[in-house]
Structure 1
Amino acid sequence: MRVHFRTIPRRGHSRIVGALSTALLCTAGLTALPAAAATPTAPTPPGPAHTAHTTGTTDAPRLPDGLATTPPMGFNNWNSTQCRAEFNEDMVKGIADLFIDKGLKDAGYEYVNLDDCWALPERDANGKLVPDPQRFPHGIKAVGDYVHSKGLKLGIYTSAGTKTCSDVGFPGALGHEASDARQFADWGVDYLKYDNCNNQGVDAKQRYRTMRDALKATGRPIVYSICEWGENEPWEWASDVGHLWRTTGDISDSWSSMLGILKQNLPLAPHAGPGHWNDPDMLEVGNGGMTDTEYRSHFSLWSMMSAPLLIGSDLRKATPQTFEILDNKDVIALDQDAAGKQATVLESASGRWTVVKELANGDRAVALFNESDQPQRIATTAAAAGLPQADGYRLRDLWQHRDSHTTGTIAATVPAHGTTVYRVSTDRRWATYPPAVEAGTDGPPLVEAGTPAGLRTTVGNLGATPAKDVTVALQAPRGWRIQATSPSKARALPGGRQLGTTWQITAPAGTAAGSYPLPLTAGYRPPAGARVVTTLPGTAHVVVPPPAGTPYASAMSWMTSSNGWGPVEKDTSVGEREAGDGRPLTVGGTVFAKGLGVHAPSEVTLYTGGRCRVFDARVGIDDESGGKGSAAFEVWANGKRVAGSGTLTGTDAARPVTADISGARTVRLVVTDGGDGVDHDHADWSDAKFTC
């Protein structure tokens, strides 16, 4: 952890930095299914350039101890408890019990790891570490014995410095490596997380190699996790030093943090493999800052990247949905695949990501990831994913746990912030599986209460055999009116065809602004077997038209917002934690009464309904950043970038940004990190207003 802006502690926060007659096709609303998207590859800013699909490096030197042949799986308390009193012996034992009771051990989780704050602030008279007697009255060895009795393993934490990373600053291991490693081995420790605080400027390679050698000298097999936040590019030198290394600053329990770390870790695929893993930090699944859809994306993408899967939520308080995500053995199998190849980016454009992972048996895992805040169809092909030519392929949906077949197209309409993961194989029995049927919408619809809005849905057959008795339906909240204005049924849907249906949706007058569930259900009967029903989560946004005149962005109803640290603030700077903890908006010594306070990376989406002509603001880094930080401000209208500020630093005066938004139904205010990480990036949309 570092002491960050306004002394808010961060754990190493540094660089977060896809045979009916013609007459029947027409009367049933059926059309030819579009070919798989051939979208040109382009990086999605912000983030590093995306690499082509390649296999990982296999000849890097590595530790000869045979440990961590697959990415470590387990638990670490920091994300859920930090140094609070609830982090103690009883909690650790309770987590071990839950690993057994909830089947997590059977799913592959084995390490129960203690993070910072387990020790007393001072060593004893002999220079030895002392466990905190309040937290661990029976000592660390007793806890380790309990964990081991469950068939699990124990992990511990210290820093490659004179102090650890917490505010208190417990004893670090710099200069005490041999003694501390001996204590850890005597306690039965199986895993060491070695942080980077208070390192006194000692060369990183030297610091981490010294502890490697100390651990080896104990004779105990201990997995060694290097946590120097990617500052010295450990993927270039640490494969024979540690078993895994952090590639980024600390993750936080937010969509923007997870996304930024994903983009930083994805290009490092060539450096990962058995015994040496890229570590994009622990899982936040279940901590409450993201939706279950976002947590499924988090878990899916970490598994695709062969990342260590260390649970960061307090399992004693976890919901059934959290356990369902963490226990998805189909997805875990990708992370733990024996080949150890980290997935690479096949395509990325307009928030649509296709990520591919080569598996040991020749299969391919394909993740279709939707970064955007509205559903999108994402498509590729089995050939593009690296599979040989075949008449058909088995397609296993790893979240639906359902098998189907495709003639080659791999596609899905993926919900906002969602990820669909398929395991694709050349199976000679492919025709025995039902045809893959893809359902989607062009939504989400933007509905002004009392006024009808339109939506189009599609159901397409990606297989070779027909789908029969096809039906499609939308399920709206009670009191809403849903009417199909074109056919919503088909007697049969041949391979390569789709049923398109248009709908009219009306929310009752007086319905409050916000997001409402609007799931799409499609059903069909395969040539053999039971009827298949698929439900696609969906959302309708009830929106409020902007008032005439020049309304401020802070006074308008937002559709969505995301922020790097803390919530977006109205008329104050961002305080990074709770709503309302900011200060007056101040840029270059000028104080502004109105505006939005954000922290990069950030997005705010507003509904303008085609009624506004101009957006303007004065933008910059808030003075509270102390002259540090940098960010770039962008205005997007109907999905197109229409204005930008360029990169501004903490020493720049507020810069005017004006955008022509004529005819736009939605406007997004985007802040990126300026390309150098997000430290001190307190960014202000001062005097942000519309002309409507």
Structure 2
Amino acid sequence: MNKVLIFLSLLFASPALNAQSVSVEGGRFLKGDNPAWSTFTYDDSAWQEVSFTQPWEKMGLNRVNGIGWYRIHVVIPSSMKKGIVEAIMLDIGAIDDSDQTWINGHWVGNTGTFPEDPGGYSSEWGKRRYYIIDPKWVRWDQENVIAVRVYNYGDPGGLYRGAFNIVKPSLKDFANLSLVAEPGGYKAVLTSSVKTGGSLHVTVTDVMTGTQETSKTQKVNLAAWKEKQVSFSLRPQKRLKVTYSDPRFEEVLKAEVCSPYILTPPAPATPRYNGPLVFGVRPGSPVIFRLAFSGEKPMRYSVEGLPKGVVLDPERGVLSGTCTEEGDYPLVFTATNDKGSAKADFTLKVGQQIGLTPPMGWNSWNCWGLSVSQEKVMSSAKALIDRGLADYGYSYMNIDDAWEAEERAPDGRIEANEKFPDMKALGDWLHANGLKFGIYSCPGEYTCGGYLGSLNHERQDAEVWNSWGVDYLKYDLCGYIKIIEASRDKSEAVHIRPYLKMQEFIREQPRDIFYSLCQYGWGKSWEWGAYIDANSWRTSDDINDTWESLYNNGFVRQAKLYPYAGPGHWNDPDMLIVGKVGWSSSLRDTRLTPDEQYTHISLWSLLAANMLIGCDVSQIDDFTFNLLCNNEVNAVNQDILGHQAHQDIVEDGMQMWSRDLYDGSHAVGIFNLNEASVPVQLDGALAKINMKAETVRDLWRQKDIATDAVYVIPPHGVLYVKVK
């Protein structure tokens, strides 16, 4: 993630306000802390006059960490009282990191928490602040004082999004409309903190044809702090849209959902191998590999051809140990349960290259953000095994930002904070179960979340990570950006140096550490990443769970990068955005439609992209599990040839991408980027990319299909096939 990049993009955002609003561009500021500064009568005339577009790091402060106060003097006109339902609203914008806010000495609210709060500090630096103000607290047509206490940890600090606004609230500020899944359909839930009366309108539309099948309107009268629930049955591939309107407000509340549908056939009860066909390890480095067999448990495992020093746990199916002699070691895996047995040919490559297939696993950021803890990591790790995702090759458990202690040890060593009481024990447990341990850091002084970075401690940090058993490093440019901006060197070398420096120290360690560069595609990292021995590199900004973000990171930014991907070195369009995400302690279902999720996984499979799950695995549902655990789709991602797909056709809102596979076949994705379904004649589409097919296999449905047939692709959906 990139706090500074997001900060720069938000700095110039202009909020759209209704006609009756008050906008303030600046106020008074003082670094320090005093409870009296929240009162109306305090004399702040000697404070510094500041603009709300200027963060603390630009204000000449010696140290941006700590507490500071803003006081804003503003006249609120009584004309705003006309039509007020219950209150007026304070729109402060975003604050780095946490705030507490008062008006005329009355507590208004807070976002994020301070170090002295129960549970300690938590950042909400990117969240816009909206606070409801009771009209009786307002001094109409007179001066009012709004006081904002801010705690910051790391750059940039303070108010930074521009104008500070006082507005008349809208319906969404009092009421909420949501759709909650229940057996056979969904439940619309309308809640309101004020009395409301209006209309609830419902439509059901067929996704494939666009035909509206249902249209109903229901009158609603709701008392304050009550809720209205209405249930609807919904068949697969139907779109449910619910709106609520109150005549006192111009805007309408909306909630929309497409019913999920599972295409992946159930896995057999007999053992089936679903993992990669090759694994690379350097001589003398620990082997950590879990045999990925699905099927009924318990299961027994055996391996033929193991080199000296490598052993198998036959109960867990975990390879461990070390091999000192370089070479390709052909192995045969066997798994047996009460229903039968299965074998799989496999190659253990002991040499100088690791990451021979894209990493599959989990990362904490898209679900937990800065609220990650050892307990949450363990919960997802256990679910990865118990739910069965480890049986499909998902093995990395990567902790993102917010594990670091506030200060280093006296000798300079990095330490974990109280949320991670025992990193080594965590690593040992993961390894014993055949999972790998990932960590996060930054080449700057501070990380994106304001935690300690590795600047001037690179060797020490690499040594500490080795002692914990770390197998994966995500190295985030974020805190190093200001060093780049201050440098007179404008060449690509300024981007390369911090990554080359850390590469030297992780290669000194007696274990393999997958090296993942996170620099958002700055400095054309795909052109030099492989030369500094990186195993993957980000090619775009952080992804979020919207179609626009998925489209940019996948379809736009990857179109010309296929020459740079291959075994040991992968383009990384960022983590997966399926399941329950939230980037905080509050999780929700992804906003992608089911069809967009099929497109997401299909495209990442074609791109030979890192497959890092971003949701809470302990809450994974059947749809998401089957989305992530289709062995034929994953086999394309893990294909040992390692070719990234080409973008072959861009035409009328349709795109075709294809990649060569090791067995001589081709994986082809036909993507519909339009807002309506599109029929596609399959053999005609394949002819456009000069491809003739003897057989075509639908990878999601895992069955052969006719080449001379017409297939309807839903909006933002995909037809994903393997062509021989």
TM-score, length-normalised on structure 1? 0.51
Report whether the alignment pairs 1:174 with 2:445: no
Equivalents in 1 of 2:415, 2:382: separation in Å? 26
**1:432-456, Cα deviation, whole Å (9 max, x unpaired):** xxxxxxxxxxxxxxxxxxxxxxxxx
2:560 aligned partner, one-letter code: P
Residue 517 of structure 2 corresponds to which residue in structure 1?
A: 226
Q: What is aligned with 1:365? A: 667
Please name the residue that 1:88 is paired with.
373
Report the equivalent of 2:547: 255
Corresponding residue for residue 609 of structure 2: 307
Question: In structure 2, what is the Cα distance between the partners aligned to 1:298 and 1:204?
Answer: 30
Q: Distance in 2 between matches of 1:103 and 1:314?
A: 14
| Rounded Cα–Cα distance in structure 2 between residues aligned with 1:64 and 1:280 | 27
Counterpart CA distance in 2 for 1:310 and 1:278 is 13
Match among 405, 416, 421 for residue 720 of structure 2: 421
Deviations 1:109-132 (A, max 9, x none): 110000000111221211111111
Q: Is 1:128 aligned to residue 417 of structure 2? A: no
Amino acid at match of 1:104: L
Change (3 A) 1:309 1:316: same
Structure 1 Cα separation of the partners of residues 507 and 375 of structure 2: 31
In structure 2, relative to structure 1, the CA distance for the partners of 1:301 and 1:411 (3 Å cut) is farther
The CA distance in 2 between the partners of 1:282 and 1:411, in whole Å, is 33
1:393 counterpart = 2:694: yes
Task: Work out whether residues 253 and 290 of structure 1, in 8 Å CA contact, stay in contact via their aligned partners in 2.
Answer: yes
Match of 2:361 among 53, 70, 74: 74
* Residue 101 of structure 1, CA deviation: 1.6
What is the aligned partner in structure 1 of residue 563 from structure 2? 270
Instruction: Please tell me whether the aligned partners of residues 192 and 225 of structure 1 are also in contact (alpha carbons under 8 angstroms).
Output: yes
For residues 234-261 of structure 1, what are the alpha-carbon distances to aligned partners after superposition, in whole Å with 9 as ceiling and x for unaligned? 1111113200000001001111111111
Judged with a 3 Å threshold, the aligned counterparts in structure 2 of structure 1 residues 259 and 181 are, in CA distance, closer, same or farther, namely same
Q: Secondary structure at 2:560's aligned position in 1?
A: helix
Q: Which amino acid in 2 is paired with 1:152?
A: L
The structural deviation recorded for 1:412 is: 2.6
Deviations 1:506-526 (A, max 9, x none): xxxxxxxxxxxxxxxxxxxxx
Give distance in 1, aligned partners of 2:529 and 2:670. 31
- Alpha-carbon distance between aligned partners in 2 of 1:343 and 1:131, rounded to the nearest angstrom: 40
2:535 aligned partner? 243
Mapped partners of 1:410, 1:109: distance in 2: 35
Q: Secondary structure at the match of 1:198?
A: helix
Q: Distance in 1 between matches of 2:677 and 2:596?
A: 13
CA deviations 1:437-488 (Å, max 9, x no partner) are: xxxxxxxxxxxxxxxxxxxxxxxxxxxxxxxxxxxxxxxxxxxxxxxxxxxx
Which of the pair has the greater relative contact order for Cα pairs under 8 Å at 6+ separation?
1
Q: What residue is the counterpart of 2:163 in the other structure?
A: none
Deviations 1:199-226 (A, max 9, x none): 1227221100000000001121100000
1:155 is the counterpart of 2:438 = yes
* Counterpart amino acid of residue 329 in structure 1: N
In the alignment, which residue of structure 1 is the partner of 2:400? 115
Is contact 1:364-1:386 (8 Å) kept? no
Structure 1: how far apart are the matches of 2:408 and 2:609?
Answer: 34
The answer on 1:212 being equivalent to 2:499 is no
1:381 touches 1:410 (CA, 8 Å); kept in 2?
no
Contact 1:93–1:146 under 8 Å retained in 2 = no
Shift of 1:103: 2.0
CA distance in 2, matches of 1:190, 1:114: 11
1:322 aligns with 2:633: no
Offset at residue 384 of structure 1 (A): 4.8
Q: Judge conservation of contact 1:269–1:344 (CA < 8 Å) in 2.
A: yes
**Cross-structure match for 1:646:** none
What is the CA RMSD across the aligned residues, in angstroms? 2.1
Tell me how many residue pairs correspond in the alignment. 364
Question: What are the Cα deviations for residues 176-217 of structure 1, in whole angstroms up to 9, with x where unaligned?
Answer: 111000111110000000001221227221100000000001
Q: 1:161 to 1:266 in 2, by over 3 A?
A: same
Tell me which residue corresponds to 1:351: 653
Q: Secondary structure at the match of 2:370?
A: coil
> SS state of the match for residue 552, structure 2?
helix
Alpha-carbon distance in structure 1 between the residues aligned to 2:454 and 2:413: 10
Aligned residues of 1:368 and 1:412 also touching (Cα < 8 A): no
Partner Cα distance (2:690, 2:610) in 1 = 25
Letter paired with 1:136: F
Paired with 2:411 and 2:591, the residues of 1 have a C-alpha distance of: 44
Query: Whole-Å Cα distance in 2 between the matches of residues 66 and 99 of structure 1?
Result: 27
Instruction: Find the aligned partners of 1:9 and 1:302 in 2 and give their Cα distance.
Output: 27
Listed as ranges, the gaps of 5+ residues in structure 2 are 11-93, 96-124, 128-153, 156-349, 488-493, 581-589
The residue type paired with residue 119 of structure 1 is E
The alpha carbon displacement at 1:383 in A equals 5.2
Superposition pairs of residues 45-64 of structure 1, within 5 angstroms: none
How big is each residue's C-alpha offset from its partner over 1:79-118, in whole Å with a ceiling of 9 and x where there is no partner? 011012xx21122112221222222112111100000001
What is the DSSP-based 3-state SS (H/G/I as helix, E as strand, rest coil) of the residue aligned with 2:437?
A: strand
Q: For residues 243 and 264 of structure 1, what CA distance do their matches in structure 2 show?
A: 19
2:382 is aligned with 1:101: no
Aligned-pair distance for 1:64? 6.9
